[in-house]
Structure formats: structure tokens, C-alpha cells
Amino acid sequence: MRIAYSYNNRDPRCGIDGQLMDAPPQGENIPQPVDSDGNPLKITNIAQIQITIGKTEKGTLTIGLYGEACPGAVAQMLDFLSEGTGIVTTSKLMLEDGYGVSSSPVSFPNGGALNIIYPQNRIDFGIMSQGISYAKGRKLNKVPDDFVAQPRPSGPALDAVSKEKSVRSHSVAGLLSIPKNGLGYGGTGFESDDEAFASAFEITASNKGVPSMDKESRKVIGQLMDESSMEFLARLASTPTKKGLKGVIPGQNFGPPLVKTSITAVVIIK
């Protein structure tokens, strides 16, 4: 058995079981932009998520969003991906100096991460802790005692997203999926406000699709756009994972990336 990595050496051919594959994983076909009935879907917006694995390996996921088919969800996603906008669900007065609390919008470029890899199935992105992201962004040693996290969206903002149905099933690799009620409603639903966006969006990574995501009432709002993104998706979905205490939880093969994986930039192209 050939071991693919050590703490000082990583290899793109490293498989989920820690063994060295003969070649890096191959990307699946780029998804066709069509709905479940085969009708064309218009790509209205494009964003890029740049990711570094270890110290030197870099890749980009270029995502197209179906803004005409699901305008509420796409508008929310664009806010989330924007460093200058973010998602704000509290009074905007809380963001102003002198109001008596520390707070900031929920913005994926500030603290976003690839949190969970479901090997060769899907990858999960989000912000594990708004407070920690706030402190790191301001080079603070700890989260301020007066920090207030943004709660999950509610009211009209929730209605605008939750009423939209999935435009297609999770039938191929490379599809961008969010929870039924939108960003902030992933996970178990019992997370604190601080962790509400820990599981914000996922990307399918199986050539057979991930039908279980349809049963989870998730919805597709976009897709990867090019071959290099599909190849990098396959690489990410094949990366070894941490599996809990001493790396062993019987029956579990998913978890955070074993090799440090960082979001280095998020760019909205249009």
C-alpha cells in the first residue's frame, strides 16, 4: 500500500483512504443548464471561489446562477458571496459604531470555508462561527463580549426564497444546492445564531447525482461552468477527511478536510 501524504508532503493523487491513486481524479461532464423537463435555464450571474489546498495547490470553482428561475435565492446567494454586502438580518443600526454592540454582515469571503467533504458525493461550504470570523477579520484575540450574530433570515426575506422550488433535481455532479428555506437553514436547525450559516450551500460531486438531496428538500440554484471547475471539484471531493476522535468513527467516511483547505478569494464576475 502506498501512503499518499504526510504532514510535510501532500499529493493531488491522494485518495480518500489515504492511498496514492495512479492519477488525479477526473472531473465529470459540465452540467447542461436545463431544468428537470429539459427546458433551458439562463445563467444570469457568475461567481468564482478560489481555494488553496495545503500551501501551494490552488484551484477555482466558477459558478453560474439561475437568476431568472429562482431570483430570490440567487439574490440572497449573491449577497452572501459579496464582501461588500453580505446578509444582514438585524437592524442596520447594529452595524454602526456607537450603537453598543459589535456585529457585521454574514459574508462568505470573511470566514467562509469548505467545512465538510462527503467523499465523491458532495462538498459543503459555510461559516462555522460568525463571531470567530468577526474577530479574525479585525485581528482580535477573542470574540468581543458584545458581539451579536446575524440570525437566520425571516419575514419577507425568508418568504422570497422559501416559496421558490428547485428548478432541477440533484441528478449530476457540479450542481449548487441550498436548503429549502435558503441560506441559514442548513444543518440540523438547532444551531445557534452564531453557527446558523455553518452549512450554507453544497455542490454535488457524484456522476450519478445525489438523489438523497432531493429528499432533503434542498434546491438547485446554479452549477459549475467549466472543465477546470469540474476537475477541481473532483479533487476536493476525493481529499482525505478527518473522521473524529483519532480519525476513527465506525461507518463514517465524511468530515472536514484532513489537509488545510482555505478560501482565498471570492469574486463576483457579473
Q: What is the pTM of this model?
A: 0.88
Q: Is 194 helix (H, G, I), strand (E, B) or coil?
A: helix
Higher pLDDT, 221 or 84: 221
Higher pLDDT, 250 or 109: 109
Task: Please name which of 115, 140, 94, 256 lies closest in space to residue 197, comparing C-alpha atoms.
Answer: 115
How many whole angstroms from its chain centre is CA 129? 14
pLDDT band at 32, cuts 50/70/90?
Answer: very high
Burial 92-109 (b: 16+ CB within 10 A, else e): eeebeeeeeebbbbbbbb
Task: Please name which of 40, 23, 63 lies closest in space to residue 222, comparing C-alpha atoms.
Answer: 63
The answer, yes or no, to whether residue 13 has pLDDT greater than 60, is no
Question: Mean pLDDT, to the nearest integer, of 161-184?
Answer: 97
Query: What single-letter DSSP state applies at residue 101?
Result: S
Name residue 61's beta-bridge partners.
49
- Residue 7's pLDDT is what? 39
| Averaged pLDDT of the chain | 89
The answer, yes or no, to whether residue 67 has pLDDT greater than 80, is yes
pLDDT band at 3, cuts 50/70/90?
Answer: very low
Cα separation, 114 vs 125, in Å, equals 5
Hey, what domains does the chain have and what are their CATH numbers? 45-268 (2.40.100.10)
Give the rounded percent of residues in the chain with a pLDDT score beyond 90.
75
- Residue 6's pLDDT is what? 41
Question: Mean pLDDT, to the nearest integer, of 103-125?
Answer: 96
The answer, yes or no, to whether residue 4 has pLDDT greater than 50, is no
- Residue 95's pLDDT is what? 84
Question: Mean pLDDT, to the nearest integer, of 102-124?
Answer: 95
Q: Is 35 helix (H, G, I), strand (E, B) or coil?
A: coil
Q: Grid coordinates in use for 87?
A: 446578509
pLDDT tens column, 73-93: 999 999 999 988 999 999 888
